[in-house]
Amino acid sequence: MIRAGIIGGAGYTAGELLRLLINHSEVEIAFVQSTSQAGLPVTDVHENLVGETTLCFAAEADLENADVVFLCMGHGKSRAFWETHQMPAGLKVIDLAQDFRDESDGYVYGLPEWQRERISQSRLVANPGCFATAIQLALLPLAEAHRITDEVHVTAITGSTGAGVKPGATTHFSWRTDNLSVYKPFNHQHLIEIGRNLGLLQGTQPAINFVPLRGDFARGILASVYTRTELSAHEARRLYEDYYADAPFTVVSPHSVNLKQAVNTNKCVLSADVHNGRLHVVACIDNLLKGASGQAVQNMNLMFGLPQTAGLRLKGSAF
């Protein structure tokens, strides 16, 4: 059994990790650390796990008693954690923050559809951002074929859980419900990792115009991506189908796609079509699963030589 520890266990991504790992046949949870909730039962915070676990939050991370740890703290805190803690030899680490997404300190960028082999051979993995996952999956086949020849335009909408568990002015129900708003247009932090990675594939870094929106729903991301192309509709669909033929969680649909096909699953559901010389790709994911904790478990499976789908056969919320 793989002994897994979670550091920063009180947030949404940690709660989803717990839900997945409790039901993973190859995993035993070694500890769940939380400074703010130390000593309390995990189910006092993650109420959906009532009846499924008797774990309590630990004040300290028992790194010596784990085979893999998931870092679920805020951005900037993962790097600070390793400045005050010694990493045991052989410990595998999956960081869900943005601290090591530039592949510094020996980390590998953990997008399995792109870097499956490197992830399989790595001990340190940096999980991608949620918007970054959806947008890169929408563009990877094009970039690898060197077919991004013009500016890319992205409009993407995310659920309120993307803002984290701590309430804020733009996450309160009374403000968010029946409401839409734009935030961080053209300068969202995920553009850094998107531009870097697509540039590595394409050879030159493409210009990406990204406008994120806050949605009036809890979970999911829908990204609408378009750019000029010389591909026909048939060629575009074939390019995407071939690229993702061996990707168990990225599905290229021949039909228009919608958010409910992906929510509560680790899938990215894509459509690709061409309209008057413009390639239009729509990508749908669950921001907490394929955009965070589900992808982290997928990376763990690769790192330990398990099938990518282990513990991740989840049913979507079709209604």
Task: Put the strands of the sheet holding 27-33 in their side by side order.
Answer: 27-33, 2-7, 68-71, 92-95, 124-126, 108-109
Strands 92-95 and 68-71: parallel
Are 188 and 225 within 8 A, CB to CB? no
Are 87 and 7 within 8 A, CB to CB? no
For residue 133, give both structure tokens: 């996952």
Identity of the amino acid at 28? E
The length of the chain, given as a count of residues: 319
Identity of the amino acid at 238? R
Other beta carbons within 10 angstroms of residue 196's beta carbon come to: 15
Contacts of residue 71, defined as CB under 8 A and 6 or more positions apart, other chains included, come to 7, 8, 77, 78, 81, 93, 94, 95, 96, 97
Positions annotated as catalytic residues are 130
Query: 6 in helix, strand or coil?
Result: strand
Are 55 and 29 within 8 A, CB to CB? yes
